[in-house]
Structure 1
Amino acid sequence: MNTLTPSLSFPQPTLIAVNGVTLEVFEAGRENAGRPIVLCHGWPDLAFTWRYQVPALVAAGYHVIAPNQRGFGNSSRPSEVTAYDVAQLAGDLVALLDHYGYEDATFVGHDWGAMVVWSLTVLHPTRVNKVICLSLPYPARGERPWLEFMEEVLGSDYYFVHFNRQPGVADAVLDANTERFLRNLYRRNEPLQAPQPGNAMIELALTDSPHGEPLLSADELAVYVAAFEKTGFTGGINWYRNFDRDWHLLGDVDPIIHQPALMISGDRDPVAPSPNLAEFVPNVEEVHLDSGHWIQQEQAEATNRVILDWLSRGAS
């Protein structure tokens, strides 16, 4: 059970120009310069997702850098769909390291942020010294593009596929039901169930009977609602619309993650662990927590303990 006091305290943001865009970056622990750790959120999320981890990492001696990635918050939201592929997202993080004068850093990613961190590590291996990913295991690149495979197995209404095949439809529903969607999405103690027919995200935006219990306090939910009412959801959804493009972009690089890696999974997360993770990430340590998808928020104390223990055993 998370016993940390819910808090809205978070570093003040700075707007930083990198890689042709502007990122809204939340930084803490500058007094720990030389020990950078970069925190990468997923969808539909914000750097604010790391509010429980930032003070713990600073106290442990790290310089914490948590951007709202492109498409989110007050960061740039390019109109071109291809501006959101993993090469661009990884390029933003490399340029962020350059801005701070760092050759490399430890990168932490949750959900789509984990996809970006895994991709960054194979695209720019010299810029990553350690990898910590939550929820999303390494996405092994099979012989067929990911989206094509998903459509065949899960159908055209599966939300990954739907976002691509029916552009703009889900965006409009989520934009029109922002508060309800976010309130219904951020839940704990949800029962695990097989994927249901239809676009799960549209269903969440429209239902009055979500499963589980609210994860966020009213004040925390208000942070998310204010951000997405301002930006809409299209920037983040465009990450999904590059899924097959990403598959092609990652085709010519060494697929093995050679860095030390920590993989944290939630036992009740609908994102399943990878049975062959160590084939692609040979230096990985896997930890399972009693959690749903929003691990770093739902099990904040346990997440902090696992991360700090792992870093203390292998950190420079």
Structure 2
Amino acid sequence: MLCHGWPEHAYSWRHQIPALVDAGYHVIVPNQRGFGNSSRPEAVTAYDITCLTGDLVGLLDHYGYDDAIFVGHDWGANNVWSLALLHPSRVKKIINLALPYQARTDVPWIEFMETVFGSDNYFVHFNRQPGVADAILDQNAEQFLRNLFRKNLPPVPPAPGMMMINLAEAETPLGDPIMSDEALAVFVNSFENSGFAGGINWYRNLDRNWTILADVDPIVKAPALMIYGDHDMIPKSETLSDFVPNIEVESLHCGHWVQQEMPEETTALILNWLSK
């Protein structure tokens, strides 16, 4: 089961699906809750980790599987890590891209991020100023996604203000596109129809998730592969093996959009690891 991130779509896995099918796997690729044509409940709490992992379990039940290999990128990776904690018997193996396991902090996550990164951090902004970013991204969907899905970005210091709003309002993209205009149009059309609020609501449940996971065993016991992008703004974890003891780690010479920036190399890493 391939689990996309934000602001993405099942189409993010277009390069991996044929190769996995050719290797003999039944590949399930949902648009997750809040994305594409999937359900988009209005209640913010309908996007907490209980609901999101419950959707994945529901898909397993629908197809009659006891467990599956879960592959996640970005927020999809967070959902897969959480699935392994809340429903460990349903997770056979894990392959996660970009986002390593996030250990539970001493204080709620948004408070922690606000203290470390400030109020302009987009995680904090999404929570402290509900609806503001949603509206700006909705008004500038094509420009935002065109500016976001880039690689080979110049090494410039971050501009003041909220990064995602800055991207939505910037008229000139930096770096190089990671996909063709035709592929980008799939994402643009999807978010023009759905809006961004559903996906942003995942962020608005971080502190709720922090509470939900308070008494859960934090150790992921399933065999796992972590694939980093060497130029991703998300740092590599120094404590990953403490929480995921059965982990192997690989890195690719790319940024955040790992499976779209280096599709053939990503697919090869996945298939090689699964064949062991």
* Pairwise TM-score range, normalised by the shorter structure: over 0.9
Task: Quote the Cα distance in structure 2 between the aligned partners of 1:254 and 1:110.
Answer: 23
- The structure 2 residue matched to 1:161, chosen from 121, 124, 129, is 124
* Equivalent residue for 2:239, pick from 255, 263, 276: 276
Distance 1:125 1:253 in 2: 11
**Distance in structure 2 (CA, Å) of the matches to 1:266 and 1:253:** 29
SS in structure 1 of the partner of residue 120 of structure 2: coil
On the 8 A contact 2:151/2:178 being kept in 1, the answer is yes
Are 1:192 and 1:268, in contact at CA under 8 Å, matched by a contact in 2? no
Verify the 8 A CA contact 1:192 1:269 in the aligned structure 2. Answer: no
**TM-score, normalization by structure 2:** 0.98
Contact kept, 8 Å, 2:105 with 2:112, in 1: the verdict is: no
Offset of residue 191 of structure 1: 3.6
Q: 2:228 aligns to what SS in structure 1?
A: strand
Check whether the contact 1:191–1:268 (CA below 8 A) recurs between aligned residues.
no
2:238 paired with 1:238: no
Q: 1:191 to 1:86 in 2, by over 3 A?
A: farther
Among 229, 246, 268, the alignment partner of 1:305 is 268
Partner SS for 1:129:
strand
Query: Does 1:55 find its partner at 2:36?
Result: no
Q: Tell me what 1:109 maps to.
A: 72
1:145 aligns with 2:126: no
Bigger share in strand: 1
Q: 1:194 to 1:93 in 2, by over 3 A?
A: farther
Do residues 216 (structure 1) and 175 (structure 2) align? no
For residues 135 and 271 of structure 1, what CA distance do their matches in structure 2 show? 7
Question: What's the offset of the Cα at 1:193?
Answer: 5.4
- Counterpart residue number, 1:17: none
Alignment partner, residue 97 of structure 2? 134
The SS at the match of 2:256 is coil
**Residues 1:122 and 2:85 are matched in the alignment:** yes
What is the RMSD of the two structures over their aligned residues, measured on CA atoms?
Answer: 0.9
Paired letter, 2:184: L
State the shift of 1:209 in Å: 2.7
Once the two structures are superposed, what CA deviation does each residue of 1:155-200 show, in whole Å capped at 9, x if it has no partner?
A: 1111000000000000010000000000000001124555543110
Report what 2:192 is aligned to.
229
CA distance in 2, matches of 1:87, 1:192: 38
Alignment partners' CA distance in 2, 1:141 and 1:164: 18
Matching of residue 266 in structure 1 with residue 233 in structure 2: no
TM superposition shift of 1:214: 1.1
Structure 2 residue corresponding to 1:185, chosen from 148, 164, 167: 148
Q: Is the 8 A contact 1:191 1:212 kept in 2?
A: yes
Structure with larger RCO (C-alpha < 8 A, sep 6+):
2
| Counterpart Cα distance in 2 of 1:192 and 1:86 | 35
> What amino acid is the match of 2:77?
A
Is 1:205 the counterpart of 2:168? The answer is yes
Q: Which digits, 9 at most, give the CA deviation of each residue in 1:200-243, with x for residues without a partner?
A: 00000001233211112111011111100001000000000001
Tell me the TM-score normalized by structure 1: 0.86
Q: Distance in 2 between matches of 1:65 and 1:289?
A: 25
Q: Which residue of 2 aligns with 1:6?
A: none
Residue ranges of structure 1 left out of the alignment (5+ in a row)? 1-37
